[in-house]
Amino acid sequence: LYFCYTLTILLLFSYFVLLHRVPLIKGKSARESLEEQGLWNEYKGKFPFNPTRFDDQSLYVSNEQMTNDADLAYFGVISIGTPPQSFTVIFDTGSSNLWIPSVYCSSAACANHKRFNPSLSSTFKNAGKSLSIRYGTGSMTGFEGFDTVVVGGIPVKNQIFGLSQSEAPFMAHMKADGILGLAYPRLAASQATPVFDNMMTQHLVNQDMFSVYLTRNSAVGSMVTFGGVDTNHYSGQIAWIPLSSQMYWQITVDSVTVNGQIVACNGGCQAIVDTGTSNIVGPQADISSMARAVGAHSANGDNVVNCNNINNMPSMVFHIHGQAFTLPASTYVRQSTYYGCRTGLQSSSSDLWILGDIFIRQYYSIFSRAQNMVGLALAR
């Protein structure tokens, strides 16, 4: 209790010192754009969602795993090189590498994204290493280099990053140019040092933590804050949850209840807090049980509900480290102009749960490398 109180006081103090903020834009997801064009069913058939990056841990040594999540909608801007070249990236707590398209990429997926030109940067150095990133339905290949990367006004020198030379076709539909991974070094491909680790070792942040705030509906206002927390983005107390593993931001969930009844994760389960996944993902049997409990039924690969019933649907409650984290129906149901209403519940073949953007929108999330903890507080 004393530790949690002391840590909270330090975080409040951090608000008055220098924080480095990266505004995130909430744009149209790939799914929304494809629905507008009448191409969603075709895309889903070709590139079905499968969070394979969490399934085979033997691959982590040589390959970073990346999911083809078409619902991702939050992007921020970074720059690389001297003079700087700007890119939009997904700030992903479920991976550890930074990568962007390069001018050497001729894939269709690179044609509609910004591409880094190393010959235009006076500070670029070729690392002499190849890089491969696996997707559920393809891969990205390229090579690694070093350069200055500026994130939220922080110049990170000699940062290693990937430059793509080929990309999987589905990437053409993704809005961001690349990915900036914020998980632990143990997860990084090619033993690359993650951006936040270099921020810490180069003493560029006041505290060894970052925090994420995601708006529910507004296109603006979402934020990644490096070096502390922003008290404007949450209310009440911060619940500090120790990590169960230091590779992802992995925690233990005690159970999931609906109307006071355990419907999933009976006896406990492992989950990661992941800004690089949009929904709540879990084992098929548990996700089906949760869907039934809230009145959803399976249709066209989604757990759908009647849009007129949202106000009468029950909340889902995640019990974590002795505290209850409630998700009202208004937070876990998504409404589409073309496909009606669906829950943000998706099943996978892995036992590892993913608490994605649906959860993070409701709970301001703090990622402390200093204490190896995740802090959760009710988002404003």
Which active-site residues does the annotation give?
Answer: 92, 274
Distance CA 156, CA 143 (A): 20
End-to-end CA, the chain: 25
Residue 256's DSSP bridge partners are 264, 318
Distance CA 121, CA 266 (A): 53
> What is the CA angle 184-71-282, rounded to 5?
60
**Strand 323-327 relative to strand 333-336, pairing:** unpaired
Residue 163's DSSP bridge partners are 100, 143
Residue 251's DSSP bridge partners are 271
User: Residue 348 to residues 55, 186, 226, 368: CA-CA distances in angstroms?
Assistant: 9, 23, 31, 28
**Strand 154-166 relative to strand 98-101, pairing:** parallel
